[in-house]
Amino acid sequence: MAKEKKIIKNNDLSFEQHLDRAKDIIANLESGNCNLDELLSKYKNGVESLNYCTEKLNEFEEKIKIIKDSSKIDLEEIE
């Protein structure tokens, strides 16, 4: 059976897809059913997905802080 290679660019996936991808990779790595080359490739892809998720979470956190700070001003003006 020929192994199918999937090339996925980070920008092509949503946050949720990256998270699912990382979970799948972790489960696959923990199963021990990978040869050394596959292991390294999967590990690299998993790290890329987790880095993407971390970056997105940091962006969301900053946006939430901005929204929270701007709404705090509005609420203070009302009181």
CA–CA separation, 77 vs 26, rounded Å?
A: 49
Q: Which of 30, 21, 26 is nearest to 52 (CA)?
A: 21
Domain ranges of the chain: 14-78
Give residue 5's pLDDT: 44
CA distances from 54 to 22, 38, 40, 57 (A): 12, 24, 21, 5
User: What is the rounded CA–CA span in Å between residue 49 and residue 10?
Assistant: 7
Q: What is the mean pLDDT of residues 9-13?
A: 70
Mean pLDDT within 28-51: 90
Residue 34: which pLDDT band, with cuts at 50, 70 and 90? confident
Residue 72 tokens, joined:
């705090």
For helices 15-31 and 36-78, what crossing angle results, to 10°? Answer: 140
14-78 in CATH: which number? Answer: 1.10.287
pLDDT band per the 50, 70, 90 thresholds, residue 79: low
Q: Tens digit of pLDDT for each residue in 43-74?
A: 999 999 999 999 999 999 999 998 888 876 65
Q: CA 49 to CA 52: how far, in whole Å?
A: 5
